[in-house]
């Protein structure tokens, strides 16, 4: 059995040496009410970086020398549980381990016949829910409005943009390479794309792509990209603060423009959120996402890395934009 522990709290960008790989020759036993799980897919997500710091947040930090946890799809390989049978697949927060014992609490059964198992960590899982609920609950989109999405070629961003198109918005995506900008337009149906790595004046580029101004900004990255969007917001704009990956590895407080004048002048709303705020809406949101997938109105990309030992590197690669769509590790 292999386990990955958090060895050090990363300073700045994490490195593989912040993790410890442990291999043990053990046979795991289960008792009544338990299942033995074998890990099949592991989700790596930017928010895990925050849990590696020893600071107060919406979830407690990871403990040093304990397994890292993330969204995982696992197969039941032995069961003494009434509901979960051998051969079932379960999804939920689990340890970075090749095998583990669970009571099944907090895990949901997922069906490999309805969707590929990895999709339950992406479009039909946390990232799909984040895209749908963030955009609809806070963005309150109206057909004809203009939506800007940062981190647009990633797991959340690529779904936000597509939902925007389904709902009749003009959609502009910001991403880190020409290849990703191309993907936004050809695969995900965005109207415009901006490569922030090759654009010198982001403020001008956003004004040019959104001549009627920006009604909704779905912010996945924070930092200078998001500062530039502020110069184009319209009256009553909604700015959805989903994440801020550009500052997650900062060791000093970032310098930012003051948002207040932009918000006051435009009577605009800026709201952060955590997807679990909308937990009661998960069933209806998953139903909607699955319907759109079935109707081929929605599609998704995945970057699948192979091998348990590559989980930390796959996580680190998120900060270098090495993924298109959802980054998952196949065990
Ligand atoms: P993702 O977008 O699939 O992957 C991260 C992407 O961020 C990379 O591919 C990279 O794309 C971009 N990036 C990395 N460093 C950057 C930088 N310095 N400046 C600009 N872009 C950078 O990840 P995700 O899972 O979909 O998450 C996206 C955001 O949503 C994250 O901020 C995450 O924390 C947040 N999130 C929030 C919630 C919530 O409940 N609020 C839930 C899920 C995710 P490029 O090549 O384009 O740079």
Please enumerate in sequence order all residues whose Cβ is within 8 A of that of 186, keeping only pairs 6 or more positions apart, or say none. none
CA of 325 to the centre of ligand 1 (A): 10
User: 201 lies in a domain?
Assistant: yes
CA of 152 to the centre of ligand 1 (A): 8
- Centre a 10 Å sphere on the Cβ of residue 64 and count the other Cβ atoms it contains: 13
Q: Residue 27: its pLDDT value, please?
A: 87
Q: Show the domain range for 87.
A: 2-122+301-330
Query: Which one of 152, 245, 302, 314 would you pick to mutate in the ligand 1 pocket, going by the greatest count of ligand atoms within 8 A of its CB?
Result: 245
User: 296 lies in a domain?
Assistant: no
- Residue 105 and residue 141 in one domain: no
- Residue 134 and residue 234 in one domain: yes
State the CATH number of the domain containing residue 267. 3.40.50.720
User: 293 lies in a domain?
Assistant: no
Number of residues assigned to the chain: 331
- Residue 73 and residue 150 in one domain: no
C-alpha 212/C-alpha 233 separation (Å) is: 9
Whether residue 145 has pLDDT greater than 90: yes
Q: Residue written as tokens 């991403």?
A: 175
Q: Among residues 260, 276, 292, which one ends one of the domains?
A: 276
CA of 18 to the centre of ligand 1 (A): 21
| Res. 310 pLDDT band, cuts 50 70 90 | very high
Q: Which of 176, 247, 172 is nearest to 214 (CA)?
A: 172
Bridge-based pairing of strands 233-241 and 269-272 is parallel
Average pLDDT, the chain: 97
User: Which DSSP symbol is given to 142?
Assistant: -
User: 151 lies in a domain?
Assistant: yes
Task: Please tell me the total count of domains within the chain.
Answer: 2
Nearest CA to ligand 1 atom 36: 243
Whether residue 253 has pLDDT greater than 90: no
Burial of 241 (0-12, 13-18, 19+ CB in 10 A): middle
- Centre a 10 Å sphere on the Cβ of residue 234 and count the other Cβ atoms it contains: 17
User: 25 lies in a domain?
Assistant: yes
User: 87 lies in a domain?
Assistant: yes
Q: What is the pLDDT of residues 57-71, one digit of tens each?
A: 888 999 999 999 999
Q: What is the mean predicted confidence (pLDDT) over 98-106?
A: 97
Q: What is the pLDDT of residues 70-93, one digit of tens each?
A: 999 999 999 999 999 999 999 999
- Residue 131 and residue 266 in one domain: yes
Whether residue 255 has pLDDT greater than 90: no
Q: Residue 37: its pLDDT value, please?
A: 98
CA of 78 to the centre of ligand 1 (A): 36
- Residue 12 and residue 36 in one domain: yes
Q: Which of 215, 162, 216, 166 is nearest to 190 (CA)?
A: 162
Ligand 1 cavity residues, CB under 6 Å? 45-47, 126-127, 130, 151, 153-157, 175-177, 180, 220-221, 225, 242-246, 273-275, 318-319, 321, 323, 327
CA of 126 to the centre of ligand 1 (A): 13
- Residue 188 and residue 259 in one domain: yes
Q: Among residues 235, 259, 276, which one ends one of the domains?
A: 276
State the CATH number of the domain containing residue 325. 3.90.180.10
Nearest CA to ligand 1 atom 39: 274
CB 275 within 8 A of CB 137: no
C-alpha 161/C-alpha 149 separation (Å) is: 7
- Centre a 10 Å sphere on the Cβ of residue 267 and count the other Cβ atoms it contains: 10
Nearest CA to ligand 1 atom 3: 154
Query: Which one of 45, 148, 154, 303 would you pick to mutate in the ligand 1 pocket, going by the greatest count of ligand atoms within 8 A of its CB?
Result: 154
C-alpha 178/C-alpha 175 separation (Å) is: 8
C-alpha 171/C-alpha 117 separation (Å) is: 29
**pTM for this entry:** 0.97
User: 290 lies in a domain?
Assistant: no
Whether residue 320 has pLDDT greater than 90: yes
User: 292 lies in a domain?
Assistant: no
Ligand 1 atom closest to residue 49's alpha carbon, by position in its atom list: 34
What would the two tokens of residue 279 be? 């937990």
- Residue 131 and residue 272 in one domain: yes
- Residue 78 and residue 148 in one domain: no
- Residue 231 and residue 135 in one domain: yes
- Residue 221 and residue 81 in one domain: no
- Residue 137 and residue 254 in one domain: yes
CA of 86 to the centre of ligand 1 (A): 36
Q: Which of 180, 177, 135 is nearest to 292 (CA)?
A: 135
Whether residue 178 has pLDDT greater than 90: yes
User: Which DSSP symbol is given to 160?
Assistant: H
| Res. 254 pLDDT band, cuts 50 70 90 | confident
| Res. 28 pLDDT band, cuts 50 70 90 | very high
CB 245 within 8 A of CB 223: no
Q: Residue 153: its pLDDT value, please?
A: 98
- Residue 132 and residue 268 in one domain: yes
- DSSP for 251-296 reads SSPPP---SHHHHHHHT-EEEE--GGGGGGGHHHHHHHHHHHHHTT
Please enumerate in sequence order all residues whose Cβ is within 8 A of that of 19, keeping only pairs 6 or more positions apart, or say none. 4, 5, 6, 7, 68, 312
């Amino acid at each position: 059995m292999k386990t990955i522990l958090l060895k050090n709290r990363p300073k700045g960008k994490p490195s593989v040496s912040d993790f410890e790989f442990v291999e043990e020759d053990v046979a795991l036993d289960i008792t009544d009410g338990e299942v033995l799980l074998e890990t099949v897919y592991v989700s790596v997500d930017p928010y895990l970086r925050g849990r590696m710091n020893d600071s107060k947040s919406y979830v407690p930090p990871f403990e040093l020398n304990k397994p890292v946890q993330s969204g995982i799809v696992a197969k039941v390989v032995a069961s003494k549980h009434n509901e979960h049978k051998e051969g079932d697949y379960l999804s939920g927060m689990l340890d970075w381990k090749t095998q583990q014992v669970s009571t099944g609490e907090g895990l949901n059964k997922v069906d490999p016949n309805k969707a590929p198992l990895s999709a339950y960590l992406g479009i039909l899982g946390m990232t799909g829910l984040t895209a749908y609920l963030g955009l609809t609950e806070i963005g309150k989109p109206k057909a004809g409005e203009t939506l800007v999405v940062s981190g647009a070629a990633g797991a959340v961003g690529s779904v936000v943009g597509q939902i925007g198109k389904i709902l009749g918005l003009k959609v502009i995506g910001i991403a880190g390479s020409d290849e990703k900008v191309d993907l936004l337009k050809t695969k995900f149906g965005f109207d415009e794309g901006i490569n922030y790595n090759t654009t010198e004046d982001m403020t001008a580029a956003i004004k040019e792509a959104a001549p009627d101004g920006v009604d909704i900004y779905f912010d996945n990255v924070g930092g200078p990209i998001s500062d530039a969007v502020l110069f184009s917001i319209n009256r009553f704009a909604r700015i959805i603060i989903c994440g801020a990956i550009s500052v997650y590895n900062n060791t000093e407080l970032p310098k930012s423009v003051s948002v207040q004048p932009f918000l006051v002048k435009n009577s605009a709303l800026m709201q952060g959120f955590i997807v679990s705020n909308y937990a009661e809406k998960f069933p209806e949101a998953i139903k909607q996402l699955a319907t759109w997938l079935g109707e081929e109105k929605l599609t998704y990309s995945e970057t699948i890395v192979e091998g348990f030992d590559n989980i930390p590197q796959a996580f680190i690669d998120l900060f270098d934009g090495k993924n298109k769509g959802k980054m998952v590790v196949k065990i």
